[in-house]
């Protein structure tokens, strides 16, 4: 493949061998710091762990969405990025499920509603989900669906590498078909049960869509960075052309707007109706240091990436886009923190204990990147026999090989 | 993927199997000249009988029923409608939202598919854009007359006046005025600008002096030079971006008409998105209803192919699934919030009295019937698709009725409860607007290029000079 599409203008190959120990370093340093955090303040540790877990969950769920959309739309251009998206999605089970175990164990520390008596009006109304057993069972159900979906999609994808059979494509489309419905239901459920319920009195119908847009947004940022690294390492140099980066950039840009749209819709409707059962959520976040985080999110998560990515040419400028993608990681983390951390006992942004969430983030990041790299190395880097591979490489079939016309020739004067 | 090369020998095994090959945008592999002939034929030829059969009743509704209903309503007041306490919004706002919805898929299909480089949109984009323009006109009618004293409509615009009157910008009605007007202007520009190269084609083919003169004015001096194309394409991209944003903002604003209130059944944070998707879903239904007969009657099966109809049906399915998700979220939040009023409203949507059957119709059609589109056989059956398109429009009209009337007719005080039934004037106005829409649409397909000739040609192999069949090298006449 490389011989046909080698780009002469590429910079020298990137050598990442000296970074190979980074996952282990992150795991050890982050793990030790997180343990210290757990000893110092179990409640803050619980929320920090949840926050970091949600960050990586959003990344994996976003990648799963990209894989399914690829199959459902019969896309050609995204063949090159599909394999590592499948690896990212397969982090959902068992790896992220394992990382969820501390959330399950620390649930009474994280979710105040678990400590309330069953006679509480809201708890009674939300029975049986808002019970310890209900929480565990429903969480298990979410992971079961994600496991089934991500494993089936990866299984048929890897099988196609061997057989090249069209059946594999049909199976992947089938799983994406039912999967997208199950995905919407489970993602929404997870966002409500795991994230929104840290302040259990709050409710918002758009919350699931809001979480989803963040998932797709952060996944696209990650995909962009990984694609750049793979291109620079010459692993996918023949496959990832400039238009790849343009398409990922356009999608990233679109989700920047869509994400802001959802957040604004929620805020505006709550603000305008001014009902106390909803406004309390924003009142907390408009006070003290949370106000600063609100402004950082407005400008950092929307205006900055929006204006930077607005020009068409920027989307293929790696020097601009890679920093924007890295910035997006920070903003996604900040956005999730904006949702989760106000449940902490102190009513201001926990600047002094901010090292705890970052320690959890480093530990999980190290662990998950180690798993991802192991999976990536043990399989071909792109779908070897995908029927759209030629199209992704920019080679189109000559017209005479296209199927014969089915419609009769009508009309025309000639 | 602009590069078109013959497959190198070592990569030939990677060629997709026959069942997975892409369908060509235009079937039959025809020469560019033959394609121009075919696509201009209807606008240049004699008017067929079917056109008159459709046009006469539509024109009657538009020129008799609509003016009579309008004049009577404006002279007698909005009391002639069925609106009464506690349902102070009825078929007027229902019809308004429905027309806004129909308006949106047109622009979305054309603009968003252009931005995502979907070549198949070239064959249906123009038809969809025209649908947008005419339905926004119909939508704009309702805010103008529902105020009661239509001669004071100018109060809604920020015009300095001696009375010191100034629009109340905190009212969602004002947002509607500006959103709908902006949308109308931009979508008309988008529609007209896209037609300029094709109007020039018709001008160059015109055989009579008056026709040539009128088309020359409409084509605005288009010569097809590289400079013209360069400016045209730049402007087109910008308009596509604007239109896509407008699709979202206008429908969101219509959603805000409801959800900024505190009324159970209306106040939901998902409403802006709900109305965007609802609009798109409704519009896809209308596109199916319009395109299926027209592709047959205009003998355009090789241009608006089964593959294109399949894609439209899939998009209708996607938007229908999102609608189903939003319905689920409404019921879920009513349960989750533990708000007794929300629980009451949503419980009564399906199991209440008076309008409970409408709740089931909307679920049955918008959620149930749409699931048929999962099946390839259904998507390939034009009769089935036509019926599904009609049902989607019926379902979405019902949905708006349920949202508006279903949330109003049982007030917080049982003593206030009432029933809403539209009067003959409500129905006449709606029927008149339907007639006006179809009359304008029929005039459009007869006198203007219904398919984007230049765009379709650009999407064929013959239109790509780098393709082995490009230029004059291939194709059948």
Percent residues over pLDDT 70 in chain A: 92
Question: Does residue B325 sit at the A interface (CB-CB below 8 Å)?
Answer: yes
> B15 vs A399: CB contact, 8 Å cut-off?
no
Judge whether A5 lies within some domain.
no
Q: Give the per-residue pLDDT at B475.
A: 56
Chain segment A4-14, per-residue pLDDT in tens? 444 456 677 77
Cα-based angle B56, B279, B300 (whole degrees, multiple of 5): 50
Q: Facing residues of B87 across strands?
A: B84
Interface test with B, best of A119, A190, A192, A205 (most B CBs within 10 A): A205
pLDDT at A4: 45
Compute the average pLDDT of residues B201-230: 94
Statement: residue B73 has pLDDT above 50: yes
Domain enclosing residue A320, as ranges? 22-393
Is the pLDDT confidence value at A307 over 90?
A: yes
Question: How much of chain A exceeds pLDDT 90, in percent?
Answer: 79
Average pLDDT over residues B211-231: 94
pLDDT single digits (tens) B283-297: 899 999 999 999 999
A-to-B residue pairs, Cβ atoms closer than 8 angstroms: 184
Instruction: Kindly state the tokens that stand for B376.
Output: 């390839």
A378 CA to chain B: closest CA distance, Å?
A: 22
**Per-residue pLDDT, A103:** 97
Q: Which of B18, B37, B261 sits opposite A414 (nearest CB)?
A: B37
Of the candidates B271, B328, B338, which has its C-beta nearest A121's C-beta?
Answer: B338
CB contact at 8 A, A227 and A78: no
Q: pLDDT value at position B174?
A: 86
Q: State the fold for domain B30-463.
A: Formate dehydrogenase/DMSO reductase fold (1.20.1630)
Instruction: Count up the domains in chain A and report the number.
Output: 1
- Give the model's pLDDT for residue B467: 65
In a domain, A11, yes or no: no
- pLDDT reported for residue A238: 75
| Among A132-141, B72-81, B144-153, B187-196, the least confident range | B144-153
Predicted confidence at residue B173, as pLDDT, reads 81
* pLDDT tens digits, A11-25: 777 778 888 899 999
Chain A hits for B474, Cβ within 8 Å? 399
Residue in A180, A261, A402 nearest the CB of B248: A261
Taking the Cβ of residue B415 and every Cβ of chain A, the question of whether any pair is shorter than 8 Å is answered with no
The pLDDT value recorded for residue B471 is: 58
Asked if B469 reaches chain A (Cβ–Cβ under 8 Å), the answer is yes
Query: What is the rounded average pLDDT for all residues in chain B?
Result: 90
Determine the pLDDT at residue A304.
97
Per-residue pLDDT of A90-125, as tens digits, reads 999 999 999 999 999 999 999 999 999 988 999 999
Name the residue of chain B whose CA is nearest to A413's CA.
B37
Q: Is residue A406 part of a domain?
A: no
Cβ–Cβ of A205/B268 closer than 8 Å?
yes
Measured CA to CA, the distance from residue A278 to residue A294 in angstroms comes to 17
**Interchain pair B262, A275: CB under 8 A:** yes
Average pLDDT over residues B106-115: 85
Q: What is the pLDDT of residue B477?
A: 55
What is residue A323's predicted lDDT score, i.e. its pLDDT?
97
Query: What pLDDT is attached to residue A405?
Result: 46
Query: Out of A302-311, B98-107, B127-136, which region has the weakest mean confidence (pLDDT)?
Result: B98-107
Collapse the DSSP code of A259 into the 3-class scheme (helix H, G, I; strand E, B; otherwise coil) and give the result: helix
How many angstroms separate the CA atoms of A275 and B337, rounded? 13
Query: Which residue in chain B has the smallest CA separation from A402?
Result: B21
Q: Which residues of B fall within a CB distance of 8 Å from A125? A: 335, 338
* Mean of pLDDT values over B74-92: 91
Give the per-residue pLDDT at B389. 97
pLDDT at A189: 98
Is A88 a residue whose pLDDT tops 90?
A: yes
Interchain proximity B24–A402, CB inside 8 Å: yes
Could you tell me if residue A106 is inside a domain?
A: yes
- To test the contact with chain A by mutation, choose from B118, B250, B265, B269 the residue with the greatest count of A C-beta atoms within 10 A, namely B269
Q: A206 vs B270: CB contact, 8 Å cut-off? A: yes
pLDDT at A406 over 60: no
B81: helix, strand or coil: coil
Query: Which residue from B minimizes the CA distance to A186?
Result: B325
Q: What is the structure's pLDDT at A398?
A: 59
Is the distance from CB of A312 to CB of B238 less than 8 angstroms?
A: no
A-chain residues near B8 (CB < 8 A) = 4, 395
ipTM for the complex? 0.93
Q: What angle do CA A226, A228, A230 make, to 5 degrees?
A: 70
Q: How far is B89 from chain A (nearest CA, A)?
A: 19
Alpha-carbon distance B32 to B40, whole Å?
12
pLDDT value, residue A104: 96
pLDDT (0 to 100) of residue A346: 67
- Residues A36-73 have pLDDT tens digits of 999 998 889 999 999 999 999 999 999 999 999 999 99
**For chain A, how far is it from start to end, CA to CA, in angstroms?**
44
Separation of alpha carbons B469 and B18, rounded Å: 20
Question: How confident is the model over A234-249, as a mean pLDDT?
Answer: 86
Q: Is B27 on the interface with A (CB under 8 A)?
A: yes
Q: Highest-confidence range of A400-414, B158-172, B238-252, by mean pLDDT? A: B238-252
DSSP conformation class of B476 = B
For A203, left (φ over 0), alpha (ψ -120 to 50), or beta? beta
Test A205 with B267 for CB contact under 8 angstroms: no
Q: Name the minimum distance, in Å, from the CA of B185 to any CA of chain A.
A: 23
Tokens (6 digits) for B374: 């999962």
In the prediction, which pLDDT does B2 show? 43
Partners of residue B28 in chain A, C-beta under 8 Å? 405, 407, 409
The number of angstroms, rounded, from the C-alpha of B400 to the middle of its chain's C-alpha atoms is: 16
Residue matched to tokens 């419905």: A181
- What is the pLDDT, as a whole number, of residue A251? 96
Tell me: pLDDT of B60 over 60: yes
Instruction: Please give the residue that has the higher pLDDT: either A343 or B134.
Output: B134
């Amino acid at each position: 493949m490389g011989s046909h599409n080698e780009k002469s203008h590429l910079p020298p190959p990137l050598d990442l061998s000296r970074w190979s120990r980074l996952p282990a370093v992150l795991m050890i340093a982050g793990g030790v710091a997180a343990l210290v955090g757990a000893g110092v303040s179990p409640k803050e540790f619980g929320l920090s762990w949840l926050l970091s877990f949600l960050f990586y969950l959003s990344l994996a769920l976003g990648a799963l969405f990209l894989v399914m959309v690829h199959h459902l739309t019969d896309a050609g251009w995204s063949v090159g990025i599909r394999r590592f998206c499948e690896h990212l999605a397969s982090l959902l089970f068992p790896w992220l499920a394992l990382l969820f175990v501390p959330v399950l164990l620390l649930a009474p520390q994280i979710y105040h509603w678990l400590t309330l008596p069953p006679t509480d009006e809201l708890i009674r109304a939300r029975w049986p989900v808002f019970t310890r057993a209900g929480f565990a069972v429903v969480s298990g159900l979410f992971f079961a669906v994600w496991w089934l979906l991500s494993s089936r999609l990866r299984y048929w994808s890897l099988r196609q590498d061997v057989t090249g059979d069209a059946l594999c494509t049909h199976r992947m489309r089938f799983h994406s078909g039912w999967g997208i419905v199950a995905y919407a239901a489970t993602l929404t459920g997870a966002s409500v049960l795991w994230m929104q319920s840290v302040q259990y009195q709050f409710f918002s119908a758009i919350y699931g869509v809001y979480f989803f847009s963040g998932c797709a947004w952060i996944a696209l940022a990650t995909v962009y960075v990984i694609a750049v690294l793979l291109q620079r390492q010459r692993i996918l140099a023949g496959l990832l052309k400039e238009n790849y980066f343009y398409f990922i950039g356009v999608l990233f840009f679109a989700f920047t707007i869509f994400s802001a749209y959802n957040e604004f819709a929620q805020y505006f409707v709550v603000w305008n109706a001014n009902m106390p059962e909803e406004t309390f959520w924003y009142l907390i976040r408009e006070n003290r240091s949370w106000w600063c985080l609100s402004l950082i999110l407005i400008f950092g998560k929307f205006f900055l990436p929006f204006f930077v990515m607005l020009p068409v040419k920027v989307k293929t400028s790696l020097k601009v886009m890679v920093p924007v993608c890295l910035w997006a990681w920070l903003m996604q983390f900040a956005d999730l923190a904006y949702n989760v951390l106000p449940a902490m006992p102190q009513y201001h942004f926990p600047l002094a204990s901010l090292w705890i969430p970052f320690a959890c983030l480093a530990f999980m990041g190290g662990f998950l990147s180690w798993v991802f790299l192991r999976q990536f190395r043990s399989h071909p880097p792109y779908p070897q026999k995908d029927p759209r591979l030629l199209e992704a490489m920019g080679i189109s079939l000559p017209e005479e090989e296209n199927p014969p016309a089915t419609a009769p020739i009508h009309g025309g004067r000639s | 993927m602009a590069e078109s090369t013959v497959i190198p020998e070592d990569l030939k095994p990677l060629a997709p199997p026959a069942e997975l090959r892409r369908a060509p945008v235009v079937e039959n592999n025809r020469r560019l000249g033959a394609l121009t002939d075919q696509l201009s034929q209807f606008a240049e030829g004699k008017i067929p009988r079917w056109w008159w059969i459709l046009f006469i009743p539509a024109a009657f509704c538009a020129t008799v029923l609509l003016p009579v209903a309008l004049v009577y309503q404006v002279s007698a007041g909005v009391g002639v409608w069925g609106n009464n306490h506690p349902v102070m919004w009825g078929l007027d706002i229902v019809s308004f939202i429905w027309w806004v919805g129909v308006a949106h898929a047109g622009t979305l299909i054309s603009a968003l598919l252009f931005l995502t480089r979907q070549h198949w949109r070239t064959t249906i984009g123009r038809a969809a854009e025209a649908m947008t323009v005419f339905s926004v006109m119909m939508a704009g009618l309702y805010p103008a007359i529902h105020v009661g004293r239509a001669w004071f409509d100018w109060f809604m615009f920020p015009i300095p006046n001696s009375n010191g009157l100034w629009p109340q910008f905190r009212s969602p009605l004002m947002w509607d005025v500006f959103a709908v007007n902006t949308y109308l202007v931009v979508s008309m520009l988008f529609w007209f600008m896209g037609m300029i190269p094709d109007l020039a084609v018709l001008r160059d083919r015109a055989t009579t002096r008056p026709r040539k003169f009128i088309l020359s004015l409409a084509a605005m001096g288009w010569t097809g030079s590289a400079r013209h194309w360069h400016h045209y394409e730049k402007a087109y991209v910008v308009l596509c971006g604007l239109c896509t944003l407008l699709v979202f903002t206008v429908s969101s604003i219509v959603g805000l008409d409801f959800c900024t209130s505190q009324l159970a059944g209306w106040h939901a944070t998902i409403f802006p998105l709900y109305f965007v998707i609802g609009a798109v879903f409704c519009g896809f239904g209308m596109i199916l209803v319009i395109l299926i007969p027209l592709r047959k009657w205009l003998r355009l099966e090789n241009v608006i192919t089964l593959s294109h109809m399949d894609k439209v049906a899939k998009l209708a399915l996607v938007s229908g699934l999102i609608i189903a998700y939003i319905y689920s979220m409404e019921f879920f939040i009513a349960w989750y919030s533990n708000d007794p009023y929300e629980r009451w409203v949503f419980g009564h949507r399906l199991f209440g009295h008076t309008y409970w059957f409408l709740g089931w119709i909307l679920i049955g059609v918008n959620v149930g019937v749409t699931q048929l589109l999962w099946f390839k056989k259904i998507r390939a059956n034009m009769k089935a698709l036509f019926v599904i398109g009609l049902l989607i429009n019926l379902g979405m009209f019902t949905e708006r009725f349920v949202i508006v009337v279903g949330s109003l007719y049982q007030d917080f005080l049982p003593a206030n409860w009432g029933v809403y039934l539209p009067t003959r004037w409500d129905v006449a106005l709606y029927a008149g607007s339907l007639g006006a829409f179809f009359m304008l649409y029929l005039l459009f397909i007869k006198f203007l290029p219904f398919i984007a000739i230049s765009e379709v040609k650009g999407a064929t192999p013959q239109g790509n000079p780098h393709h082995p069949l490009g230029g004059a090298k291939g194709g059948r006449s």
